[in-house]
A = this chain, B = another copy of it.
Amino acid sequence: MELMNLLRVPQRRVAPGSIPGTVLADPCAARPEIQVMAYDLEALDEFDLLEAKQASAHVGQKRTVWINVTGLGDANTIRELGEAFGIHGLALEDVVNTYQRPKIEEYRNHLFVVLRMLDTTDGSQSEQISFFLGDGHLLTFQENPDDCFESIRKRIRDKHGRIRHNGPDYLAYCLMDAIIDDFFPQVDVLGERLEELEEEVLRSPSVETLNEIHRTRHALLAMRRNISSTREVMNALLRDTGGKIEENTRVYLRDCYDHAIQLLDIIESQREIAAGLLDVYLSSVNNRMNEVMKVLTVIATLFIPLTFLVGVYGMNFDTQVSPYNMPELENPYGYPVLLAIMAVVIVAELGYFYYRGWIGRR
């Protein structure tokens, strides 16, 4: 659940006090596979790379080279790639330490960007994608083979759109755009959940409802943190003056930034609505308690006085001893008169309750 991501500090594989820039791979993670797509307007070279050390050899001849590494389970491969491309140790450490928030850092050779992609299987987990944007090449690291990049690979293969006309900065934009657009369905799911909760809260609020509201708020909190950082990354990319981003890619990044703001906007609204739901839940519970109390009060105040009354005539005072001792019992009309009195009491009380709005139409 997102909840756990929020509450627990991820298990850092690098112990406090260890040497900065240490690359320690998670032994449970998948073994890295390196896919290379090298293309220009005319040609496309697509192959799997077996030797990490040779990765940089494919870069350089006026074409765009995309090296995508899937799986972070082998520290050696990653260190070799790092050396091949001259990546700073601290950045490499962040690549394998897959609990970074979205961020951007400028190094000598690369623009280093971390984003978090929603895990498409069930939307409750997020996966870290690291980008190294260098001259003529883009190096990306992802944790699992599942990704939202298939349509972009297809566009490269089919020469579809402008992607083959442009450099690695445009490619990076395309990937980031895919990651951000992938949030929309997930946000939609949360919106639907809130709508259902809203109905439930008014119809039949239970502790489970409350729990669900609570969980949805946690999910929104996690989502907001993620997208808010993503937006800052996009903003920094827009203002980038390191020369890694070309001018006409910037227009596209602006669109991307706009989408991030749109997402944040929706999430902020959803957060306000979720907070409002809590208020409604509390009042709803209060109202139900009110209903319960009204029924108790109506029944009790109707019958308690009557019970007293009939109790009076159940007393065993000896009517023989004295005429003062409950002469009503000997009276031929005692019983019907008492019944009439009780009927009057009931009608009066019901009238009062009706007037107070506790029973009847309202």
Q: CB within 8 Å of B: which residues of A?
A: 3-4, 6-9, 12, 15-21, 88, 90, 100-101, 103, 105, 107, 148-152, 155, 160-163, 174, 177-178, 181-182, 184-185, 187-188, 191-192, 194-195, 202, 204, 206-207, 210-211, 214, 217-218, 221-222, 225, 251-252, 254-255, 258, 261-262, 265-266, 269-270, 272-273, 276, 278-297, 299-308, 310-319, 321-322, 324-326, 328-336, 338, 356-358, 362
Contacts and interface: CB of A to CB of B under 8 A. Distances in A.
Given A8-B192, A283-B210, A313-B316, A252 B20 contact: yes
Contacts of A297: 292-293, 295-296
Contacts of A306: 308, 311
Contacts of A270: 6-7
B316 A315 contact: yes
Contacts of A88: 251
Given A7-B270, A303-B304, A324-B332, A148 B288 contact: no
A317 B335 contact: yes
A170 to B, nearest CB: 10
A92 to B, nearest CB: 12
B20 A255 contact: yes
From DSSP, what is the main secondary structure of chain A's interface residues? helix
Nearest to A278: B279
24 contacts: A8-B191, A12-B184, A15-B151, A16-B151, A17-B152, A19-B162, A20-B177, A20-B252, A225-B269, A282-B282, A293-B297, A299-B300, A299-B301, A310-B311, A311-B311, A313-B315, A313-B317, A314-B316, A316-B316, A316-B326, A317-B335, A318-B330, A321-B332, A324-B335
A155 B15 CA distance: 14
Contact of A7 (B273, B316, B321): B273
A315 B289 CA distance: 36
A288 B291 CA distance: 11
A69 to B, nearest CB: 20
Contacts of A288: 290
A12 B181 CA distance: 10
A186 B185 CA distance: 31
Given A3-B195, A293-B297, A322-B335, 4 more contacts: A225-B265, A295-B297, A315-B338, A321-B334
Nearest to A178: B17
A252 B295 contact: no
Nearest to A261: B101
B282 A283 contact: yes
Contact of A101 (B265, B315, B316, B362): B265
Given A103-B258, A300-B304, A356-B291, A331 B321 contact: yes
Top 3 closest pairs, chain A to chain B, by CB = A322-B332, A17-B151, A16-B181
Contacts of A149: 17
